A and B are shown apart, each in its own frame.
Chain A
Amino acid sequence: MRTAKGDGRIAFAYLAPALLVLVGLMGYPIYQLVLISLFDYGQEQVSGGAPLTFLGLDNYATLLSQSRFWAVLGQTVAFAAACVVGTLLVGAALAVLATRVRTWARMTLFLAALGAWATPAVAGSTIWLFLFDANFGFVNEVLGTTGMSWTYEKWTAFGLVAAQVIWCSFPFVMVTLYAGIKAIPGEVLEAAALDGASTVRTATRVILPLLRPLLIVVTIQSIIWDFKVFTQIYIMTNGGGIAGRNLVLNVYAYQQAFAASEYGLGASIGVVTTVLLLLITLGYLRALRRSGEVL
């Protein structure tokens, strides 16, 4: 790394385009989001037909007094947690399994996973919807439950969306962990075997600690992705389910803003989501730091 004079100026020139884009399209909108959430911002205010009224924290007070908000919040957390746990379990189990089989079997699995990974969320959502369609769906045909509408009941709808989310996100976890396991030097495992360690002991005392940094990365990624699922919920439950039974915070904020023209309220939901996500990630990082993990 050079520290010659004038470096600062050149570095700034290199950074300028990135800073311009990031400040303009992330920094400023974040500030705007908070600002909008403090106002009574509806259709009339947007079109300029009515003056803006500063509400302070009123939007937040309204939000926190709604039972709907708390229900959606609970749903979001439960749904995201189920998706994260499912993704990690499936991904990790298959990564381990992939180390135990010959190349042809591993390639078959990886190719299938690559397909699921590459499928755009919109396409994936519609495929799953069609597979589970009440009348023309293959799943109902196989289960002999023709006419069963998976998206009608709240929990089957959430389950279906979760299954789709896990389907398209486990490949990342699997591939990353597989690469991690393969990177463990053979000598380490041999030494463990020589010392008479059992398979379970080797897995928990040798492999797991070595994989921990990778596990942290995939867990954080999964939390961030699954907490803000939008496309799948929007498409598979047709905008949040019947009477909004399948809303998660993101879709709720969107509906409040763009469907109900309550931009201020929608923005306050956005602020709450952002804060929650930051708290979860930071809390997780702190817990790791306390357990002696170096990041």
Chain B
Amino acid sequence: MNRRASRGIAEGVVVVVAAVVAFPLYWMVLTALKPEAEVISTDPRPWTLAPTLDSFVRALTVQNFGRYLLNSVVVAVAVVALSLLISFLAATALTRFRFRSRTTLLVMLLVVQMVPVEALTIPLFFVMRSVRDVVPVFGLNHLGSLVLVHLAFSLPFAIWMLRGFVAAVPVELEEAATLDGASRFRFLWQVLFPLVAPGLVATSVLSFIHAWNDFLFAKTFIISAAENQTLPLALQVFVKPDQNDWGAIMAGSTVMTIPVLVFFILVQRRLVAGLAGAVKS
């Protein structure tokens, strides 16, 4: 078989695979746009001639969905901002300073990543219950509790990943900055911070997704304050024992998936570079 024919076959296979992989997403958007009667038809067709935004309206107006969306955004943004700040400082400490117990800390960071976070739901539930009595905002039924757990779970990987980027900045640059009279603090924010930007982007994507996608902790921590619930749980509102509102579920899923997808497409180059960087180091 000649080269061109084999490439043609490969491209055919690739297109078919891409179609299969994308199909669930197509079905999600299609279902969200279908009129109710077509959604619960026992003869589902892969197109619709009467697209409508009814399901989106239902999803967004019924059951406080807008509030849930806002909650998700607040949690994700807080987690990203805090984890960037904290992991940047920690990564700097671990790469640019030599001190005792440095290696121990690095190994601990690796080990901690292997701990199944789901197993920690039980003790964390009790921790958050006691926190509630001290600082209510960070305790059960408040968004702060979600920010704290997601921060804790995204930090080890974020620090580990940023380490490679911080280490890549030449020491000479720091010496030059010091000679020019820049304080350590200034060097940190005005020189180092912008230089590790690609790493920060990759890290923030992962922290964002972590917080945005969480189902388990929102389910466990936000028990009685429904107004503080996040999107993944809100979706379950439309799941009913007798008849699921599939149109609204798919509209809600679409609303939930789009921010991540946009985020991914915007940063895909840097994300891949970041993954490769983390792998290399």
Contact = CB atoms under 8 A, between A and B. Distances in A.
Interface of A: 1-3, 7-8, 10-12, 14-15, 17-18, 21-22, 24-26, 28-30, 32-33, 36, 94, 97-98, 100-102, 105-106, 108-109, 111-124, 126-128, 130-131, 133, 135-138, 141, 146, 167, 175-176, 179-180, 183, 213-214, 217, 224, 227-228, 230-231, 234-235, 250, 253-254, 257-258, 263, 266-267, 269-271, 273-274, 277-278, 281
A253 B122 contact: yes
A115 to B, nearest CB: 5
A3 B98 contact: yes
Contacts of B213: 120-122, 231
B11 A136 contact: no
Majority-rule SS of B interface residues: helix
B159 interface: yes
Given A8-B97, A176-B275, A270 B119 contact: yes
Majority-rule SS of A interface residues: helix
Interface size of B as a range: 35 or more
A18 B121 contact: no
A33 B85 CA distance: 29
B25 A136 contact: no
A11 B116 CA distance: 29
Given A12-B93, A277-B116, A278-B115, 7 more contacts: A25-B127, A25-B152, A94-B17, A108-B14, A112-B21, A118-B257, A123-B252
Given A18-B89, A111-B18, A127 B152 contact: no
A253 B118 contact: yes
B24 to A, nearest CB: 5
Contact of A120 (B117, B120, B126, B212): B212
A122 B86 CA distance: 29
B192 to A, nearest CB: 12
Interface in B205-233: 209, 212-213, 215-216, 220, 231-232
A239 B87 CA distance: 35
B21 A113 contact: yes
Contacts of A17: 85-86, 89-90
Contacts, number: 286
Which residue, B28, B159, B171, has most C-beta atoms of chain A within 10 A? Answer: B28
Contacts of A98: 14
Interface stretch (B37-45, B49-57, B61-69, B196-204): B37-45
Contacts of A100: 6-7, 10
A18 B148 contact: no
Contacts of A32: 123, 126-127
A278 B114 contact: yes
Contacts of A36: 122-123, 126
B122 A267 contact: yes
Contacts of B257: 118-120, 123
B201 to A, nearest CB: 15
B19 interface: yes
B99 A11 contact: yes
B25 A25 contact: no
B135 interface: no
A75 to B, nearest CB: 16
B134 interface: no
A175 B202 CA distance: 14
Contact of B149 (A1, A25, A119, A271): A25
A97 B24 contact: no
B122 A270 contact: yes
Given A29-B120, A179-B276, A270-B120, A141 B44 contact: yes
Given A122-B213, A270-B119, A21 B155 contact: yes
Contacts of A105: 10-11, 14-15
A231 B265 CA distance: 24
The 9 A-B residue pairs whose C-beta atoms are closest, nearest first, are A270-B119, A32-B123, A25-B152, A14-B93, A123-B253, A18-B90, A11-B97, A29-B123, A112-B22
